Homo-oligomer: A and B are copies of this chain.
Amino acid sequence: MGVTIKDVAKAAGVSYSTVSKALRDSPLVKPPTKKRIIAIANELGYQPNVAARSLVSKKSNTIGVVWPTVERAAHAALITKINEELECHSYTTLLSINRVESAINTFNRLQVDAILVFSDKSYLDDHSSNVPILSYGIAKEPIHPTVDVNRRDAILLAVRYLYSIGHKNIAFIGDVSQQDQLQEEKVIGFKQGMLECFNEIPDDALIHTFGLELYDGYLALKTRLEKPNRPTAIICGSYDLTKGSIRAINEMNLSIPNDISIISYDNIPQINTFDQPISIVGVPNEIITNTITKALLDIIEKKDITNSIILTPELNINESCIGIK
Contacts and interface: CB of A to CB of B under 8 A. Distances in A.
Interface of A: 1-2, 47-52, 54-55, 58, 60, 70-71, 73, 76, 79-80, 83, 92-98, 106, 108-111, 130, 213-215, 218, 244, 247
A191 to B, nearest CB: 30
Given A47-B109, A93-B96, 15 more contacts: A1-B130, A47-B111, A49-B55, A50-B60, A51-B52, A51-B54, A51-B55, A70-B76, A80-B98, A83-B96, A83-B98, A92-B106, A95-B96, A95-B97, A215-B247
A76 B55 contact: no
6 contacts: A2-B130, A50-B60, A51-B52, A79-B97, A92-B109, A93-B96
Contact of A71 (B2, B76, B83, B130): B76
Nearest to A70: B76
A94 B95 contact: yes
Interface centre among A51, A55, A73, A79 (most CB of B within 10 A): A51
A96 B92 CA distance: 10
A70 B73 CA distance: 8
Nearest to A80: B97
